[in-house]
Amino acid sequence: MNMPGIVGSGVYLPYYRIKLSDIAEAWNRNIKIAGEKTVPAPDETPLTMGRNAADNAISHAGIPSEDIGAVYFCSNSSMIEGSYAQDIAIAIGTKPSVTIADLHGSPRSFTIAVQMCLDAINSKRIEYGLVVGADILVGGLGTSAGDAGSEYVSAAGAGAIILGNKEIIAEFEAIASYMTGIKERWRSFEDKFPRLGDGRFIRDKGYINHVIQAGKSLLSKINCEISEINHVILQQPHAQWVRRALGKLGIPRDQIKARLAAPGIHINKFGDLGAACLPVALTEVLEKGQPGEKILTISYGAGGSDAISWNIKDPVNTKRSQAVSIEKFLKHKEYVNYTTHLKYNKVISQFV
Amino acid sequence: MSTPPLYRDIAQNLKFEGLKCKSCGYVAYPEYHRICLKCGAIDQWEKVKLSRTGTVHTYIVSYYLPPEFETPLPLAIVDLDPPGGRIYAISTETKHEDMKVGLRVEVDFREIYHKDGLSVPSFKFKPLRE
């Protein structure tokens, strides 16, 4: 049986950036911190970014948008009631019979939506499915640079992938999930910023435990060593967490630096993109990856992880010319200061 | 927030589609007219996907706007690349001193306004970034 897979992917990242050292300076923190993160423009929303990423994915896939039978929108920061998936479906021009769903509350929603799409394709209910991940994450003011969910990591962006059975650039291989129900991060209706559990506890018992359990379970399922995986992509809530998880997955210490600089690890360039992290990372990898290489993606959120393995296929090279390169979003950027970052994230507004 | 105009404008706000006259090739956006403004043909329209790139035909810079807009804000008439069409649009991420007739621009999907907690997105232009 032909396995379904990714037929196209696309990203959208904001033009504005802030240097992490500028955030530290605003709070008089005497720390040396490298890196930067994206800042959404005031007229960017998860919907607008998600739609732009979806357009780029469709152009990369080279398929008619009427053939897309399912649109899933994944986000931590979209509307609580009301659907962005339906707006994207209308915008790209699907048929009215399309299945739509908005998945909220966790970056893991992206890999859940991927599974929903793969199931629908395998059952021949749909030909192609579009999964969009888009987030504008805003960290609590004055939070520590060492914490996930802080101002230093919370960023904005969108990514989209199209799954199908024809002209596949990355074939789905296997999936393994792991869930304990740990509550590491939450936000109620009244909360402006996410609330986080105890730093090191949620890092070790939450993120790292789940990522490792799901990852190792998948590796044993496909009978593979971590050294045989060409591209390891993890959920990226914090650079130090990713570094630690790569080590625990079995990557030798002398190779971790290279893995952190490889395509697909973007926490120091873009920040924590939430539900957009994995589709953006997959797009980065598929821009450089070659047929025969293997990709491991591991999501994390809301006390659970999904690990998915993919095999890159031949059309990856021929379809490259149809893609809007991620280089476009790396090359064109403008730095803003801390106050503008707050204004653009709608944390402060003009008195009227 | 009134629902009927929002519903009527869904296609205009979300899709970037125009109507092309089968008789003379004129592209109308966003309004629907039965009669072609250029050649007078009646009901000779076909839907056409508009190009997301174009050139500034003319522009103004607006200095006094409600607080949700960052001013000075350039607004322009943009001639789209083939199949053509002309749009009147707000800019985004555009410095007013960079505006000029002939500036190459790209069309981006952005929030136009929000009211009663609902964000209404449509199309804005910004300098072409390749």
Q: What is the pTM of this model?
A: 0.95
* Contact yes or no for B92 and A87 at CB 8 A: no
CATH superfamily, with its number, for domain A174-314: Thiolase/Chalcone synthase (3.40.47.10)
SS (H, E, C) chain B: CCHHHHHHCHHHHHCCEEEEECCCCCEECCCCCCECCCCCCECCEEEEECCCEEEEEEEEEECCCCCCCCCCEEEEEEEECCCCCEEEEEECCCCHHHCCCCCEEEEEEEEEEEECCEEEEEEEEEECCC
Cis peptide before A279 (omega within 30 of 0): no
The domain spans of chain A are: 5-169+317-344, 174-314
Indicate the residue of A15, A43, A332 with minimum beta-carbon distance to B124: A43
Minimum distance, in Å, between the CA of residue B15 and any CA atom of chain A: 5
Kindly give, in sequence order, each residue whose CB lies less than 8 Å from that of residue B23, ignoring residues fewer than 6 positions away. Answer: B36, B39, B41, B44
pLDDT at B12: 80
Q: Which amino acid is at A210?
A: H
- pLDDT per position as a tens digit, B24-60: 999 998 877 899 999 999 999 999 999 999 999 999 9
CATH of domain A5-169+317-344: 3.40.47.10
Residues of chain B short of pLDDT 50, as ranges, are none
Q: Does B93 touch chain A (CB under 8 A)?
A: yes
Q: Does A17 touch chain B (CB under 8 A)?
A: no
The domain spans of chain B are: 3-127
Please name the residues between 13 and 42 in chain B that touch chain A, using a CB distance below 8 Å: 14-15
The ipTM of this complex is 0.94
As given in the structure block, the two tokens for residue A167 are: 């002209």
Q: What does DSSP say about strands A304-312 and A170-179: parallel, antiparallel, or unpaired?
A: antiparallel
CATH topology match: A5-169+317-344 vs A174-314? yes
Residues of chain A short of pLDDT 50, as ranges, are none
Buried residues in A53-83 as b, exposed as e (16+ CB within 10 A): bbbbbbebbebebeebbbbbbbbbbbbeeeb
SS3 category, A95: coil
Q: Does A82 touch chain B (CB under 8 A)?
A: yes
* Contact yes or no for A43 and B111 at CB 8 A: yes
* Contact yes or no for A41 and B130 at CB 8 A: no
Indicate the residue of A51, A93, A350 with minimum beta-carbon distance to B67: A350
Q: Does A93 touch chain B (CB under 8 A)?
A: yes
pLDDT at A1: 61
pLDDT at A244: 96
* Contact yes or no for B10 and A90 at CB 8 A: yes
